[in-house]
Amino acid sequence: TGSPVFHTLWSYVLAYVWKRNIT
């Protein structure tokens, strides 16, 4: 996890899963 692009994608995925779990 050293690539900025990978970090951004990971944050996006986490936010997506978190949003689905909350609903």
**By the 8 A CB rule, do 14 and 5 touch?**
no
- If one compares 17 and 1, the residue with the highest pLDDT of the two is 17
- Looking at the predicted structure, is the pLDDT value of residue 1 above 60? no
Number of CB atoms found within 10 A of residue 2's CB: 5
- Looking at the predicted structure, is the pLDDT value of residue 22 above 90? no
- What average pLDDT does the segment 1-23 reach? 88
Band the pLDDT of 3: cuts 50, 70, 90.
confident
Tell me the C-alpha distance between 20 and 2, whole Å: 27
Per-residue DSSP letter, 3: -
- Looking at the predicted structure, is the pLDDT value of residue 4 above 80? yes
- What average pLDDT does the segment 12-20 reach? 95
Per-residue pLDDT, 2: 65
Q: Among 23, 3, 22, which Cα is nearest to 11's?
A: 3
Number of CB atoms found within 10 A of residue 7's CB: 11
